[in-house]
Chain A
Amino acid sequence: DQQVKQNSPSLSVQEGRISILNCDYTNSMFDYFLWYKKYPAEGPTFLISISSIKDKNEDGRFTVFLNKSAKHLSLHIVPSQPGDSAVYFCAASAGFGNEKLTFGTGTRLTIIP
């Protein structure tokens, strides 16, 4: 049972435009959400996170939005840059003290120059 879903395996965006990556979850116990970026043959790097008590969190060009009623979160990157081309994973955690993260299957973002 895939509790965290990224339904778009790939996305192409023109450089300078906005990239929007989506993630849906089914477990209502999830209360903390994270986005990771992964280049080929490297480990994922943490990008940005959001707690369920918020609906938006910004860090520079990256903004994460959370819609709890829809069990949906999205990552906005604006403006998109060539270095943003990577695979993006969303992840979720159920409760502080829970040791595990549940990851989605990833979305490959390609920024077109």
Chain B
Amino acid sequence: SQTIHQWPATLVQPVGSPLSLECTVEGTSNPNLYWYRQAAGRGLQLLFYSVGIGQISSEVPQNLSASRPQDRQFILSSKKLLLSDSGFYLCAWRPTYYEQYFGPGTRLTVT
């Protein structure tokens, strides 16, 4: 069966520090991968998605970036965090059709 992992589970970082969040999927190949953010009291905002290695589509211009160095690995990065980057970051994958399946999430607090 397929499993999606995210780490770390929680992270507290100062403003201006770098960020790296990692997501990996097991048990499947060539999945579509997605990064979402849920800010406090808000819905799910799609940040990036990838349909293959090295292919990244950005949905929202911001100081975040994403990379997909391997088929089942998706990384969310920032060179300098802002206070507004605080939120709950979710990675998701999609097998074939429409449903997306989410990881456990990372709670990021920028102080």
Contact = CB atoms under 8 A, between A and B. Distances in A.
B61 interface: no
Given A41-B105, A44-B44, A100-B46, A34 B98 contact: yes
A100 B49 contact: yes
Contacts of B90: 43-44
Contact of A49 (B43, B46, B88, B98): B98
B103 A43 contact: yes
B102 A89 contact: no
A72 to B, nearest CB: 18
Interface stretch (A12-20, A59-67, A78-86, A101-109): A101-109
A93 interface: yes
Contacts of A36: 102
Tell me the dominant secondary structure on chain A's binding face.
Answer: loop
B30 interface: no
A45 B4 CA distance: 12
A1 interface: no
B105 A99 contact: no
A26 to B, nearest CB: 15
12 contacts: A34-B98, A34-B99, A43-B102, A43-B103, A44-B90, A44-B102, A93-B98, A99-B57, A99-B94, A103-B43, A103-B46, A106-B43
A42 B104 contact: yes
